[in-house]
Amino acid sequence: MPSEPSFHIGPIPIYGRVILSPMDGFSDQPFRSLARRLGSAISYTEFVNAQDVLNTHPHLHLRLAFLETERPVTFQLFDDDPERLLQAALKLRPYNPDMIDINMGCSVRCVSGRGAGAGLLREPAKIARIFRSLSATLDIPITGKIRIGWDEDSLNHTEIARIIEDNGGAAVAVHGRTKSQAYRGNANWDAIAEVKAAVRIPVFGNGDVRLVADIGRMREHTGCDAVMIGRGAIGNPWIFAGLDRHEVSQPQVRQMVLAHLEAMQTFYGADLGLVLFRKHAARYISPYGLTPAQREDLLTSQTAQDFARLLDELALQPAMA
């Protein structure tokens, strides 16, 4: 770890300027901790519904469990109701996260349609209430993750970022797309630069960072304090160590795949861990030119030993371009 922090979120020193994005179904404890080990500067949990926190949903512990080595850890919450968000944050405080983040970016209809996630972007006054009450009541930094607006006609990223800052928010991550875009089109890095110019709290740029060179390009283009990487890290956590996927050797891939699988089986149990690992495995092997049958055999292995044996038999070689 470098001796000097790269920046602070409230009082919390952050070492490094690249962060694994929160991703439902992916950024669980096994993946976060390996990304953190490789250089991701903060561990954000997958988003958690405040109502599930208040109802003590039976699977909640799986979404919120973290290793001490992951710190600083951010629990991410979503809801459309300021009071529920406050009560959920207070209920989670004893689990000792370093920060709590409010999701204002989720575009899926069942979340944004009820006014949560990106739906909050249409209610700036509610965002002000949420940040005012959480940051006044909790003794840890409250951060936010936003999109740049609901749609092209209602871009309000700088207004929302200022509201977050003015109401006690300690950092803001900006996915440079609107809710309407979902994941289509290019992320608008100019908009991220506008947010950076509008506030003094740390700003994280997010969207379309796939290669190590994109990290520098994003920082240069936007001036952001850190770069958040989502899809580009799936199957390539080495990006946090400054390596593009083609620079990672086959033995390194083998070692990572098996370590990741083992971590998932330890965390979820042998059967569920193997099943949940398949979506990661598909991405780890995607650069190799496997036939559909080879791919299927590998992805439907019933045990970790079978998975390892098949991996070795395939003697993976990158596909010819």
Angstrom distance (rounded) from CA 314 to CA 240:
27
* Cβ contact 158:198 at 8 Å: yes
3-state secondary structure of 202: coil
Site string for ligand FMN, 91-130 (x = CB under 6 A): ------------x-x-------------------------
**CA separation for the pair 94, 90 (Å, rounded):** 8
Lookup: tokens for 48: 């958690």
Using the minimum distance from each CB to ligand FMN, give the nearer residue, 79 or 311. Answer: 79
CB atoms within 10 A of CB 242: 12
Other CB atoms within 10 Å distance of the CB of residue 83: 12
Number of residues that bind ligand FMN (CB under 6 A): 21
Note if 106 is an active site residue. yes
**Catalytic hit among 106, 164, 193, 234:** 106
**What are residue 40's phi and psi, to 5 degrees?**
-60, 135
The minimum distance between CB 42 and ligand FMN, in angstroms, equals 12
Q: Contacting ligand FMN (CB under 6 A), which of 33, 135, 206, 265?
A: 206
Residue 194 touching ligand FMN (CB under 6 A): no
Give the burial class of 204: count Cβ atoms within 10 A of its Cβ; 0-12 exposed, 13-18 middle, 19 or more buried: buried
Contact between 74 and ligand FMN by CB under 6 A: the answer reads no
Q: How far is the CB of 246 from ligand FMN (least distance, A)?
A: 19
Of 10, 207, 237, 273, which one interacts with ligand FMN (CB under 6 A)? 207
State how far Cα 76 lies from the chain centre: 9
Distance from C-alpha of 116 to C-alpha of 20, rounded to nearest angstrom: 22
In the complex, least distance from residue 314 CB atom to ligand FMN, rounded to whole angstroms: 27
The two structure tokens encoding residue 39: 């250089």
Residues 211-240 contacting ligand FMN, CB under 6 A: 229-232
Q: Which of residues 1-40 bind ligand FMN (CB under 6 A)?
A: 21-26
If the CB atoms of residues 168 and 232 are measured against ligand FMN, the closer one turns out to be 232
Residues that bind ligand FMN (CB under 6 A): 21-26, 46-47, 76, 103, 105, 145, 175, 206-209, 229-232
Among all residues, which ones are annotated catalytic? 106
